[in-house]
Structure 1
Amino acid sequence: MQRNRLGVVTGGTFNAGLTVRLDPGINVEALRIGTFCVVEGEAYRYFSLIQDLQLHATDPGLMASPPRDLSPFLRRTLAGTSTYAVAEVKPMLMMPKYGDTEIVDPAMAEGPKAVRTIPMHFAELAEATSFDFADVFGEDDGGSYFALGSPLAMDGLDVCVDLRRIVERSNGVFGSTGTGKSFLTRLLLSGIIARNAAVNLIFDMHGEYAFSVQSEAGTWVKGLKELFGSKVRVYGLDTKTKGPDSHLVIGLNQIEPADILLLSDELNLSPTTETNLIILSRALGDEWLRTFLAMEPVALQTFCEERGAHLGSLEALQRKLVKLRQPYVLESVSFNVIDEMLQYLERGKHVIFQFGRFSRPLDYMLVANIVTRRIREKYRERVEGWQASHNEADRPKPLVITIEEAHKFLNPEMARQTIFGTIARELRKYFVTLLIVDQRPSGIDPEVLSQIGTRISGKLTDERDLEAVLTGVGNRNAIRAGLASLDTRNEIMIFGHAVRMPMQLRTRRYDEAFYQAVSDRSVPPATATTAGGHSLDDLVSDLWG
């Protein structure tokens, strides 16, 4: 296999990486930090990343008194003799080399594995080819490998993510405002839906996933409902919005003390709130919140005297909790609509929850926590049932829950109290994982970040956010250099469980060609349809509820 040579190894260490002297004819400006390349050792190929570029000179005097007004001819004359460039290269994977005459069964051949050694001096560094990308990242052939983009310096080549491994653990999509997190999340969710890798529950805070939205370029792009039709079910909180298939109301009886504590910042609750909530819930039972909000001053004073609570503290709490009375919050409600969502998920459908005009953080956090807690409880029951029966028909389908503004649910103060923190720490114990979308990863609890399997990050400008994204990650220097060199638009770095090595990408375009590709390679769920293309499950639900 012929590769374009870049230079030769002249030194290095296992921990720090290899030093490569670039050949005289190599244009350093054509190379980028984070470029995927290959070092050809004697026994192994080393799939590597360029993590630094340096300029050197053989004559210190030349640098002390650099010549002025060099002609192009003199520049070329000095290049490679008196001046030269060096690349610092970090091997990430190694793969055995097989001779041209060696016959190897593909099923028995070793694939890429973790690096455990380094090549000798004068091993050649070369550009990676399409075959190298296929060896490391797989090929998008309609199976579990899904093309997410192409290398920054190599348009036309696909870098794939393994969707089977994506749904095995919680994952994160990070990036500063304006870096395209929402469109990147759409790409990933489209792949999961098209390949039937898992079912999705998406909390769509800003109305960006279900229906068409206008991109920054001014074009209208399809939402997941328009792209996948009956595979997607949309629920809404705002009854004045006509798009959703169904609407959700919640009851005061469904709100638990943990839900109130999650809203501490939004409601400006005092440090004594947790103690007061414990007193109220123990004394008043399941209907504690409705009963508490209905208490008149005299009844509240009597309650405080009987329970030893502080009257002024409870009065202040009562005034603040009145803000929970919204049009979608009723006195008492059953879990019928949430259980209906679960039924759709069990049938292989994907659920998007829209908030409409109720898009304040208070509404989003309250509803998302209640819905997720109920669905996770039901998933736990089903997993325990499957483990008892050992019947594969009882095995739940993996569920991916997408949340935006994740730092509000998973900050160090709240991570241990919210259902989202529980899910993140459980890995996939009950077949439920998170897809975290956030522009402030530094606001997320480090313990939660350490459990994230795959991280997809756009440009991050805050030093604290960069450090947070790298929590618990090996080869930090190489990945950090790649993150720092990203552009603010359409460029990402992906690393972690679902890819064999970190890689900088230019994200795939979300356009007509993409719509056609996910449609052509879509794997249908096991659901019967009518001649008109409508799901029989949906028709039965519409007829009978």
Structure 2
Amino acid sequence: MNKTSDLETFSDESNTDETLLNTRIGTIIDGSLSKGLTVKLDSGEVPGSMIEQIAVGRYVVVQGLTNTRFFCIVTDVALAHNNPYIETNPPDTNDKYSIEIYRSTLSYGIVNIAPMLVLEKNDKKPKPVKTIPTHFSIVSQANEEDVTQIFGKADENHFYLGNPLEMDQVPINVNLDRFIERSSGVFGKSGTGKSFITRTLLSGIVKSRKASCLIFDMHNDYGWGIQNEHGQTYKGLQQLFDSNHINVITLDKKTSLARGDRADGELYISYDAIEPEDIAMLAGVLALSDVQVNALYFLRRRLGKNWFKKLLSDQEQDQNELDEFIEQGDLIKSSLGAIQRKFELFRNMKFLKEHVSDDFIEILFQKLNSGTSIVLEFGTYDNSLAAYMFVANYLTRRIHERYVSAKNKAFGKRGEDPNPLMIVIEEAHKFLTPELSQHTIFGIIARELRKYNVTLLVVDQRPSGIDDEVMSQIGTRVTCLLDNESDIRAVFSGVSGAGALREVLARLDTQQQALIMGHAVPMPVVIRTREYGPKLYAEINQQTSSSQTAKHKAEQAKTDLFG
């Protein structure tokens, strides 16, 4: 008769992996699914040393009694003891022998861990956790095999973005298909490296050609090379990819030439193409009242396509035509005067012209739909929020209209499905405030998910300024250090287990670390982001065709874009 108990059988099964024993850190002593688990740490090679080897944000694996494995993240580290006497009578600091005895018997370290995924026996893929391991389950540091099992290997669908803390040789790979499937965000206070992380993500998307990117590059960070505060130069996207992958368009050719950058084309917007909806979004920036915004719609209806030109005109005939509306009681004189004064700002936008012959929107749509990503550089307008918001709103509204039309034709089997598009905007809280998001194209895109194959990548240092409903639609969130409580709260809105992760976010380094959570990763992960440098450049060069010389690239791009 076999007297082996079920408990012994479970124990034998759960301890066959020697790697778990080699990396053991402690055992489960308390906890719940909602509040996390408490782990009593082993003493370590030197009594009490184990606690100094465990950092918030690190991965651990718990071996369950029934041969299940729980993947968890460390959320807190603390000291504990089992005798209150040592609080009032600690050993003398010179008494090394007593200190070692105390550390070995009376005091110990504990860590709190949040279970995220579970791998059940005979399953190949982890599932969301719905229970917790039993008391005294063994807790071990995660190894490369564990991380690979969760995040997958780098391939055409998975892009290497960084490494887990204390695991420099283990890659964390983001699922690009899922990243572009919904709108995403990169958040962090100024100076934390948002632009470098965004540039790295964009290089992965452009390389994969899973989506085209329309990048509104307010500060000229993405198209061509930039220097950091230490004078180190980094390549831009145009220097990594050929003209079939990336084109750089500028609003300010003189600045591009002065910087030594070669723009593939220039953007000009015709006066008669501007609609009141293009201006209404700037109401806050221009200090336009509701009455003045409504007046713009009236003028467009009565004056036709020339309404914007006549508001800026110095011609007496045009002014007389406007004065007639005042005399007829259709407009208030003070409102019209205020509008004209505030519109003086547009005179400084040299990319606005009375007449533009090319249909730039159609050209841009064709390039994006064919898989070419576009970087729109703002040159000297990099400090003009009005110019940035105006251009981003103007182009996005019209490109989105083209995508809606193409998608509807595809639904009716009268055309092909348009190529997926990701629109990249900085200072996103200016576009997506609670007041604006209900009415602007960017709020519409965020709420549509991927209905028309268009999503957003928002880059922002003030996520608390973004409408809560829009934030709830942000599928993947890459978050660098934030220290404003309202911003932290906004980033975690709608995230399961947010309480435990808040402490993880608060402990990030000021640069080159980020917490990734959401649609593109199976569980939250803290990473040290990969270097945006020679190794990444080499990887891009190996996987893309870049045999064209820089001169030929620029000439070919101009020919492709403008004929």
Alignment equivalent of 1:92, drawn from 116, 127, 133: 116
1:334, CA displacement in angstroms? 5.6
What do residues 311-365 of structure 1 show as CA deviations (whole Å, max 9, x unaligned)?
2111111211122122111124366122212211122111110111122111111
The equivalent of 1:118 in structure 2 is 132
1:516, CA displacement in angstroms? 0.8
The equivalent of 1:202 in structure 2 is 215
The equivalent of 2:279 in structure 1 is 260
Q: CA 1:335–1:471 in structure 2 vs 1: closer, same or farther (change >3 Å)? A: farther
Alignment equivalent of 1:506, drawn from 508, 525, 528: 528
Q: CA 1:315–1:337 in structure 2 vs 1: closer, same or farther (change >3 Å)? A: same
Amino acid at match of 1:38: V
Q: State the distance in 2 between where 1:486 and 1:532 align.
A: 39
The equivalent of 2:189 in structure 1 is 176
1:37, CA displacement in angstroms? 0.7
Amino acid at match of 1:165: R
Alignment of 1:56-67 (within 5 A): 56-67=80-91
Check if 1:50 corresponds to 2:74: yes
The equivalent of 2:248 in structure 1 is 234
Alignment of 1:510-529 (within 5 A): 510-522=532-544
Q: State the distance in 2 between where 1:500 and 1:375 align.
A: 32
Deviates more, 1:205-214 or 1:300-309: 300-309
Q: CA 1:65–1:254 in structure 2 vs 1: closer, same or farther (change >3 Å)? A: farther
1:64, CA displacement in angstroms? 2.2
1:297, CA displacement in angstroms? 5.0
Check if 1:382 corresponds to 2:406: yes
Check if 1:305 corresponds to 2:324: no
Deviates more, 1:409-418 or 1:434-443: 409-418
1:70, CA displacement in angstroms? 4.5
Check if 1:456 corresponds to 2:478: yes
The equivalent of 2:25 in structure 1 is 6
Q: CA 1:330–1:151 in structure 2 vs 1: closer, same or farther (change >3 Å)? A: same
Amino acid at match of 1:463: E
The equivalent of 2:504 in structure 1 is 482
The equivalent of 1:102 in structure 2 is none
Check if 1:433 corresponds to 2:455: yes
Q: State the distance in 1 between where 2:310 and 2:360 align.
A: 24
1:441–1:468 CA contact under 8 A, matched in 2: yes
For residue 39 of structure 1, give the secondary structure of its aligned residue in structure 2. strand
The equivalent of 1:292 in structure 2 is 311
1:164, CA displacement in angstroms? 0.5
Check if 1:470 corresponds to 2:529: no
The equivalent of 2:163 in structure 1 is 150
2:265–2:561 CA contact under 8 A, matched in 1: no
For residue 315 of structure 1, give the secondary structure of its aligned residue in structure 2. helix
Q: CA 1:428–1:544 in structure 2 vs 1: closer, same or farther (change >3 Å)? A: closer
What do residues 362-410 of structure 1 show as CA deviations (whole Å, max 9, x unaligned)?
111111111111111111111111111187xx12211111111111111
Deviates more, 1:312-321 or 1:271-280: 271-280
The equivalent of 2:374 in structure 1 is 351
Q: CA 1:9–1:247 in structure 2 vs 1: closer, same or farther (change >3 Å)? A: same
2:187–2:194 CA contact under 8 A, matched in 1: yes
Q: CA 1:537–1:163 in structure 2 vs 1: closer, same or farther (change >3 Å)? A: farther
1:256, CA displacement in angstroms? 2.1
For residue 18 of structure 1, give the secondary structure of its aligned residue in structure 2. strand
Check if 1:424 corresponds to 2:437: no
For residue 503 of structure 2, give the secondary structure of its aligned residue in structure 1. helix
Q: State the distance in 1 between where 2:192 and 2:276 align.
A: 36
Alignment equivalent of 2:336, drawn from 306, 309, 314: 314
Q: CA 1:144–1:412 in structure 2 vs 1: closer, same or farther (change >3 Å)? A: same
1:280, CA displacement in angstroms? 2.0
Alignment equivalent of 1:366, drawn from 390, 414, 428: 390
1:254–1:370 CA contact under 8 A, matched in 2: no
Alignment equivalent of 2:431, drawn from 409, 425, 433: 409
Q: State the distance in 1 between where 2:362 and 2:277 align.
A: 21
Q: State the distance in 2 between where 1:269 and 1:493 align.
A: 39
1:77, CA displacement in angstroms? 1.8
2:264–2:555 CA contact under 8 A, matched in 1: no
The equivalent of 2:227 in structure 1 is 214
1:97, CA displacement in angstroms? 3.0
Q: CA 1:531–1:191 in structure 2 vs 1: closer, same or farther (change >3 Å)? A: closer
For residue 79 of structure 1, give the secondary structure of its aligned residue in structure 2. helix
Q: State the distance in 2 between where 1:532 and 1:333 align.
A: 29
Deviates more, 1:179-188 or 1:287-296: 287-296
Gaps of 5+ in 1: 99-108
Q: CA 1:335–1:502 in structure 2 vs 1: closer, same or farther (change >3 Å)? A: farther
Check if 1:245 corresponds to 2:264: yes
1:477, CA displacement in angstroms? 1.4
Gaps of 5+ in 2: 1-16
Amino acid at match of 1:147: Y
What do residues 110-137 of structure 1 show as CA deviations (whole Å, max 9, x unaligned)?
4111111111111111100101101111
Alignment equivalent of 2:99, drawn from 75, 81, 89: 75
Q: CA 1:493–1:388 in structure 2 vs 1: closer, same or farther (change >3 Å)? A: same
Check if 1:272 corresponds to 2:295: no
For residue 314 of structure 1, give the secondary structure of its aligned residue in structure 2. helix
What do residues 109-167 of structure 1 show as CA deviations (whole Å, max 9, x unaligned)?
44111111111111111100101101111111x31111110011111110110000001
For residue 419 of structure 2, give the secondary structure of its aligned residue in structure 1. coil
1:254–1:333 CA contact under 8 A, matched in 2: no
For residue 181 of structure 2, give the secondary structure of its aligned residue in structure 1. coil
For residue 358 of structure 1, give the secondary structure of its aligned residue in structure 2. helix
1:194–1:519 CA contact under 8 A, matched in 2: no
Deviates more, 1:71-80 or 1:400-409: 71-80
Q: State the distance in 2 between where 1:81 and 1:127 align.
A: 23
1:424–1:434 CA contact under 8 A, matched in 2: yes
What do residues 211-233 of structure 1 show as CA deviations (whole Å, max 9, x unaligned)?
11112342211110001122211
Q: CA 1:80–1:348 in structure 2 vs 1: closer, same or farther (change >3 Å)? A: same
The equivalent of 1:139 in structure 2 is 153
For residue 380 of structure 2, give the secondary structure of its aligned residue in structure 1. coil
Q: State the distance in 1 between where 2:502 and 2:204 align.
A: 27
Q: CA RMSD, aligned part only?
A: 2.4
Q: CA 1:80–1:398 in structure 2 vs 1: closer, same or farther (change >3 Å)? A: farther
Deviates more, 1:69-78 or 1:496-505: 69-78
Percent identity, aligned pairs only, is 41
For residue 379 of structure 2, give the secondary structure of its aligned residue in structure 1. coil
Q: State the distance in 1 between where 2:53 and 2:496 align.
A: 27
1:258–1:417 CA contact under 8 A, matched in 2: no
2:194–2:459 CA contact under 8 A, matched in 1: yes
2:187–2:459 CA contact under 8 A, matched in 1: yes
Q: State the distance in 2 between where 1:323 and 1:172 align.
A: 31
1:71, CA displacement in angstroms? 4.0
1:35, CA displacement in angstroms? 1.1
1:291, CA displacement in angstroms? 3.0
